[in-house]
């Protein structure tokens, strides 16, 4: 009877968290169509795997992890496809969105998979450290150090982008 | 701290990522597709189970049937001392039998429970009842089934009897050889989907004691890891041979869903060939449509680790 209950809880969570799911997916694929596909696929996987949930209080974060995994998978597959295409074409991929400036979001690309997941969950979705640790299967201290390291990397990356405009202000 | 300010800008950008109108619809499609698939799978399993077992058996077994079982035990018990007198050697082995059972039945609109609680009797070779051993196994079975009943009652109370739930518990003797007597309790709990749980109790006929997995193996042997590897190999093989078979294994995408390996409380029995067989709950190591599953372990693989006396036909 627990299984059914879990599935129901997952469904409810999906219906309240889909905007976050979409945004997370978007930070990876940077275009609306692919992000929509990823969200739909994640919703499907979440329902299918609902009975494997061990900590009910973490359902939302668990869903985000599925989104992250789907997005990473998607990128891996599209890379394989791209390898067969010409270089010119390659430059256009991932830039279909024209109505927003996501230079800052693009900075996330310098992070590795783990770092990126931690930043998205902690910083964008404001999940607690121990919850992130539990869902990503890391220990609390590793999450902390990963987060710290990631923010340093991002800071450097973001400052690079701003140099031409704010260079004269000095460093602090 | 300029860095922090920039990262805040990043968060702002994140929060203003525009969300397409069709998003909600797409989420619903994902949910519906998964639910539909699961329900279809459940439907198949439930139908199979129902017809094969319960209908054939008839649900209400009256006092008459129970009495017949008791009589049977008495006869075999009467034979025991006679046999011993003839050969004048102490007969190994207790006589273990399910002598009767109690039922818990309840139904409220669309909620119902039928729980059969078997009662076991352990007698020594002279036919004398071993009270301690008898009490031990019956207490274990009682506790186990009572939990299921309590959960059902709590569910009924929680929804005032207006829910949908069907609980049935039945038992089966899966091993009764020269050395072991194993009693399997099958629990089917159907809400919208159904869970099937297995629990097997074992009595060593020689000692009258209850036996666990670790008792079947020599001390210091690494049987859990050997068995886990074997079962994983069987899962991989079955998946390779048949597209329809699917187990929670080697999933890199969602490693937390993978089967974690055999534990001490795994359910097992010795089949007619004298082989060790593991019985898994539904969902334990495979998706719902696979139902409960079993893995038979080849003797060759574990022959150096086992206490041979238990592995008889």
pLDDT in tens, B248-263: 888 777 777 788 899 9
Contact A43 B30 (CB under 8 A): yes
Pseudo-torsion of CA B230, B238, B275, B280, nearest 10°? 80
Distance from C-alpha of A87 to C-alpha of B223, rounded to nearest angstrom:
55
Domain A101-165, second-level architecture: Orthogonal Bundle (1.10)
pLDDT in tens, B294-307: 999 999 999 999 99
Mean pLDDT comparison of B56-60, B67-71, B126-130, highest-scoring range: B126-130
In chain A, list all ranges with CATH 1.10.10.10.
Answer: 101-165
Q: What residues in B contact A14, CB-CB < 8 Å?
A: 27, 30-31
B63 pLDDT higher than 70:
no
Distance from C-alpha of B10 to C-alpha of A70, rounded to nearest angstrom:
23
pLDDT of residue A3: 61
Q: B9 CA to chain A: closest CA distance, Å? A: 8
Comparing B58 with B223, the larger pLDDT belongs to B223
Among residues B301, B259, B299, B262, which one has the least CA distance to residue B278?
B262
The strand pairing partners of B186, in sequence order, are B170, B198
Distance from C-alpha of A56 to C-alpha of A74, rounded to nearest angstrom:
27
ipTM: 0.79
Sheet holding B267-270, edge to edge: B267-270, B276-280, B293-297
Distance from C-alpha of B216 to C-alpha of B309, rounded to nearest angstrom:
9
Distance from C-alpha of A134 to C-alpha of A148, rounded to nearest angstrom:
18
Q: How many residues does chain B have?
A: 313
Contact B254 A49 (CB under 8 A): yes
Distance from C-alpha of B258 to C-alpha of B18, rounded to nearest angstrom:
36
A-contacting residues in B 33-92 (Cβ below 8 Å) = 33-35, 37-38
B197 pLDDT higher than 80:
yes
Contact of B161 with B111, CB cutoff 8 Å: yes
Alpha carbon A100 to its chain centroid, in Å, reads 18
pLDDT confidence bin for B44, thresholds 50/70/90:
low
Mean pLDDT of B7-27: 87
Q: What is the DSSP string of A4-46?
A: HHHHHHHHHHHHHHHHHHHHHHHHHH-SHHHHHHHHHHHHHHH
pLDDT in tens, A68-100: 999 988 888 776 555 544 444 444 444 444 445
Distance from C-alpha of B173 to C-alpha of B185, rounded to nearest angstrom:
9
User: Domains along chain B?
Assistant: 33-211 (3.30.565.40), 212-313 (3.90.640.20)
Q: B127 CA to chain A: closest CA distance, Å? A: 43
Contact A22 B38 (CB under 8 A): no
Distance from C-alpha of B3 to C-alpha of A123, rounded to nearest angstrom:
14
Q: A104 CA to chain B: closest CA distance, Å? A: 5
pLDDT in tens, chain A (172 residues): 456 688 889 999 999 999 999 999 999 998 899 999 999 999 999 998 888 887 788 899 899 999 999 998 888 877 655 554 444 444 444 444 444 556 788 888 889 888 999 999 998 998 888 888 888 888 888 888 888 888 888 888 887 765 444 433 334 3
Alpha-carbon distances of A68 from A9, A38, A74, A119, A154, rounded to whole Å: 20, 9, 10, 12, 19
A-contacting residues in B 154-193 (Cβ below 8 Å) = 155, 165, 189, 191-193
In chain A, list all ranges with CATH 1.10.1740.10.
Answer: 1-100
Sign of CA dihedral A48, A50, A52, A58: positive
B171 pLDDT higher than 80:
yes
Comparing A152 with B76, the larger pLDDT belongs to A152
pLDDT of residue A161: 62
pLDDT confidence bin for B93, thresholds 50/70/90:
low
The three-class DSSP label of residue B108 is strand
Close Cβ partners of B201 (under 8 Å, ≥ 6 residues apart):
B137, B140, B141, B182, B183, B185, B210
Q: How many other CB atoms are there within 10 angstroms of residue B158's CB atom?
A: 10
Contact B23 A36 (CB under 8 A): yes
Alpha-carbon distances of B88 from B80, B207, B291, B293, rounded to whole Å: 12, 20, 50, 45
Contact of B249 with B236, CB cutoff 8 Å: yes
The DSSP symbol for B204 reads: E
pLDDT of residue A88: 42
Instruction: Report the top-level CATH class of A1-100.
Output: mainly alpha
Contact A23 B287 (CB under 8 A): no
Q: Which of B16, B18, B27 lies closest to A39 in CB terms? A: B27
């Amino acid at each position: 009877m627990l299984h059914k209950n879990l599935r129901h809880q997952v469904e409810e969570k999906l219906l309240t968290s889909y905007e976050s799911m979409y945004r997370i997916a978007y930070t990876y694929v940077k275009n609306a169509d692919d992000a929509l596909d990823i969200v739909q696929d994640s919703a499907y996987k979440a329902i299918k795997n609902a009975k494997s949930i061990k900590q009910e209080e973490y359902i939302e974060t668990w869903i985000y992890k599925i989104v992250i995994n789907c997005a990473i998978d998607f990128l891996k597959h599209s890379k394989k496809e791209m390898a067969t295409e010409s270089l010119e074409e390659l430059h256009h991929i991932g830039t279909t969105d024209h109505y927003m400036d996501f230079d800052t979001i693009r900075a996330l690309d310098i992070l590795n998979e783990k770092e990126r997941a931690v930043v998205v969950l902690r910083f964008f979705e404001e999940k607690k450290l121990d919850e992130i640790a539990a869902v990503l299967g890391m220990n609390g201290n590793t999450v902390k150090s990963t987060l710290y390291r990631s923010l340093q990397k991002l800071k450097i990356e973001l400052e690079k982008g701003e140099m031409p405009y704010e260079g004269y202000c000095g460093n602090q | 701290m300029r860095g922090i300010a920039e990262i805040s800008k990043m968060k702002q950008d994140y929060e203003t990522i525009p969300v397409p109108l069709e998003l909600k619809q797409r989420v619903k499609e994902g949910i519906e597709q998964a639910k539909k698939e699961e329900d279809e799978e459940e439907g198949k399993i439930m139908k199979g189970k129902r017809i094969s077992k319960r209908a054939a058996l008839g649900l209400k077994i009256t006092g008459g049937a129970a009495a017949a079982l008791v009589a049977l035990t008495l006869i075999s018990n009467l034979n025991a001392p006679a046999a011993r007198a003839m050969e004048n050697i102490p007969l190994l082995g207790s006589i273990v039998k399910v002598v009767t059972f109690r039922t818990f039945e309840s139904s409220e609109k669309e909620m119902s429970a039928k729980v059969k609680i078997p009662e076991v009797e352990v007698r020594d070779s002279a036919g004398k009842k071993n009270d301690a051993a008898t009490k031990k196994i019956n207490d274990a079975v009682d506790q186990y089934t009572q939990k299921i009943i309590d959960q059902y009652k709590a569910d009924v109370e929680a929804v005032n009897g207006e829910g949908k739930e069907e609980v049935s518990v039945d038992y089966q003797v899966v091993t009764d050889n020269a050395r072991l007597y194993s009693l399997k309790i099958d629990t089917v709990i159907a809400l919208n989907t159904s869970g099937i749980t297995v629990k097997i109790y074992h009595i060593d006929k020689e000692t009258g004691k209850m036996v666990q997995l670790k008792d079947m193996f020599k001390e210091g042997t690494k049987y859990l890891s050997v068995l886990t590897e074997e079962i994983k190999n069987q899962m991989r093989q079955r998946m390779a041979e048949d597209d329809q078979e699917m187990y929670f294994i080697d999933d890199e995408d969602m490693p937390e869903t993978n089967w974690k390996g055999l534990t001490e409380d795994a359910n097992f029995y010795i089949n007619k060939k004298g082989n060790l067989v593991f019985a898994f709950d539904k969902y334990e190591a495979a998706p719902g449509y696979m139902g409960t599953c079993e893995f038979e372990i080849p003797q060759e693989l574990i022959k150096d680790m086992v206490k041979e006396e238990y592995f008889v036909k």
